[in-house]
Amino acid sequence: MRLPPLNALRTFEVAARLGSFVLAGSELGVSAAAVSLQVRHLEDYFGKKLFTRSGNRLALTDAGLAVYPQTARALGEIASMTLRTLEGEVRTRLIVSVPFSLAEGWLAPRLARLLEVYPQLSVDVRVEDDPVDLARHDVDIRVSYGDYHYPACKAVPLFHDQVVPVCTPELWYRHGNPQFDLGQLPPSLFIHTQWGANYASHPTWSDWFAARQVQHSPDPALGRRSGLSSLSVTLARLGIGIALGQQALAAPDLEAGRLIALSTASLQLGHPYCAFVPGGKEQRADVERMLALLKHPL
């Protein structure tokens, strides 16, 4: 059996996943130069370039893209086997990893529904940002925004969310108008979600007004600002202002009347939410049950 140098292969997988020799070195506990040397060793073995550099960023070449998915999958399966062996038995816990914005308002009710039917199921919920080392932490399902984070895993599309203006009935009674014209409202009433430097496809208030062919752009500096989409919905529910709330997160409050939608005009997010399942786990019964529940509305 002919195998490539396994240490170099592991180093390549970390560098490809993180897109940086420096970050890979930090995870592996070695220098960036040592990471570069291991990658060069693997490139010499294959006789192909695996990365191109653009400033401080790494990008996989065509050869690298061919090698990475199977490498990540194989290392993930080895990590799972190692954990099972060290524990002495097959683990029955279901480990689900989600971003902060989906944990409480979206995932928690679905877990409650699953545990009603399967009360014996042991579930470990981990709340963390991308990227997540699914193999190292033996994650069974990772829910993520976008379908591109984990190319070595099976991707299961869940939903493509939209945002709609929401606020409490009381706030609209005090500050609204019969025409439901949001352009007449003071900028201090608008809640602006600051999505962060990694995301450029999320709709803003300016986008929402432009889609309605209204030239209006509330100044974020004069309004309220939130670093999480779920927090924006919570602030709206507390009467702090009007948010562009994700429908998947605002649905329970809208159904209960705690929030009202101020318009039928919505904007779709730039990417869908997906569940990623590492290789070899999609056939597990608990994983299949959880995926089925995640794909359907409550």
List, in order of start, the domains of the chain with CATH numbers. Answer: 6-87 (1.10.10.10), 93-158+272-294 (3.40.190.10), 162-268 (3.40.190.10)
pLDDT of 258: 97
Q: Which residue has the tokens 């990694």?
A: 198
Question: Nearest-CA neighbor of 233 among 254, 263, 211?
Answer: 254
pLDDT of 210: 93
Question: Which residues, 6+ apart, have CB-to-CB distance to 84 below 8 Å?
Answer: 90, 91
pLDDT of 89: 47
What is the reported pTM?
0.68
Cβ atoms within 10 Å of 26's Cβ, excluding its own: 15
Question: Nearest-CA neighbor of 165 among 193, 199, 200?
Answer: 193
* Mean pLDDT, range 249-255, rounded to an integer: 94
| DSSP-H helix ranges across the chain | 6-18, 21-28, 32-46, 62-87, 100-102, 108-117, 169-175, 205-211, 229-237, 247-256, 285-294
Question: Nearest-CA neighbor of 98 among 122, 123, 127?
Answer: 127
pLDDT in tens, 161-198: 999 999 999 999 999 999 999 999 999 999 999 876 55
Q: How far apart are CA 275 and CA 107, in angstroms?
A: 12
Helix (H) or strand (E) holding 277: strand 273-277
Cβ atoms within 10 Å of 20's Cβ, excluding its own: 17
